[in-house]
Structure 1
Amino acid sequence: MIEPDRTEWQVRCAFNAFCKRVLKNEAINIYNERRQQQSKEMTFSDLTPQEENQLYTLDKHYEGGEEHSFQVAGMKITSKLLAEALRTLPKEKRITVLLYYFFNMSDVEIAQHFDIPRSTIQYRRTSSFERLKRFLEEHADEWDD
C-alpha cells in the first residue's frame, strides 16, 4: 500500500513542477512581448513637430480664397455676418433655431427634448427669426470686409 501512495505523490510533484514551468515560461513570454511593444511605441511628447502634424488633418475648404456670400434684397449676406447674428440671440433661442433649421426637428420634437410646451418653442423660433432679420437688415452693409 505504501508504494501506490508514493507513485501518486511523484505524479503530483511532476505535475506541479510542469505547471510551474509553464506559468514561468508564459510570464517570460508576456514580459518579452511587452518589452518589444514598448520599444516600438513612442509618447506624444517624444514626437517631432513634423510627426505630430501627420496625426491630424484640417479641413481647408473655407481657408483662404474668397468668402462665400449671397445677395438678398440688395444686401450682401456673408457667413461672418450670419454667425454674428446667431451669436446675438440668447442661448435658448439660438439652440431652438439651430435644431429647427439645421437639424430639421419639429417644434414638437424640440419641446419634448427640453420638456417645455410646444408653443414656447414656436414663440422662441418666430421671435428669433424676427430678431435675426432686424440684425441682418441693420448690419448687412457693414460686413463687406
Structure 2
Amino acid sequence: MIEPDRTEWQVRCAFNAFCKLVLKNEAINIYNKRKQRQAKEMTISDLTPQEKNQIYTLDKQYEGEDGEFFQVAGKKITPQLLAEALRNLPIEKRKTVLLYYFFDKSDIEIAELLEIPRSTVQYRRTSSFKRLKRFLEEHADDWDD
C-alpha cells in the first residue's frame, strides 16, 4: 500500500474537518428553521370556530332568481345554453366530450370503446372545445331562458 505524503494527508484531514463542520452547521440551521416554523404553526383543532370559518370560502357560481347560471368573463352561461352548445356538436365529437368529462374516461379508454385511434380522440376533444367556446361566446349575451 502506498503511503500518502504528509502534506496530502494534512489536506485530506483539513477537508474532512471542513465537511464535518459544514454538515453540523447545516443540521443546526435546519433544526432552528423547523423550531421557528413550529412556533408559528397551529393545528386546525386549536382554532376557534370563527378562525375555522375564515380559512375557506365558497364560490358563488350560481346566482339569479329565475334560474341558475354562472358567469365567465362577464358572460351569462345557463345550463340550457350549455346543453344547446353540446347539441350543436357533431355526434362523434359530442360522444367524445361526454365520455371524457361526464364519464371520466381517458383518451385510451374512449379510443378502445369507439374503436378509433387515441390521437383522433384527442383531436375531437380539443376541436370540440374550440367549437363550444366559439358558440358560447357568440350566444351568451342573446340567450334568454
TM-score by length of 1: 0.54
Structure 1 residue aligned with 2:131: 131
The structure showing larger relative contact order (alpha-carbon pairs under 8 Å, at least 6 residues apart) is 1
AA partner of residue 144 (structure 1): D
Percent identity over the alignment is 74
Structure 2 residue aligned with 1:67: 67
Q: Is the counterpart of residue 100 in structure 1 residue 103 in structure 2?
A: no
Alignment deviations for residues 44-93 of structure 1 (CA, whole Å, 9 cap, x no partner): xxxxxxxxxxxxxxxxxxxxx73210010000000110010001000000
Q: Is the counterpart of residue 117 in structure 1 residue 117 in structure 2?
A: yes
1:76 alignment partner, SS class: strand
What is the CA-CA distance between 1:141 and the residue it aligns to? 0.4
What is the CA-CA distance between 1:101 and the residue it aligns to? 0.6
AA partner of residue 97 (structure 1): V
Output the CA distance in 2 between the equivalents of 1:115 and 1:71: 37
Q: Is the 8 A contact 1:76 1:144 kept in 2?
A: no
Output the CA distance in 2 between the equivalents of 1:89 and 1:144: 21
Structure 2: gaps of 5 or more residues: 1-64
2:141 alignment partner, SS class: helix
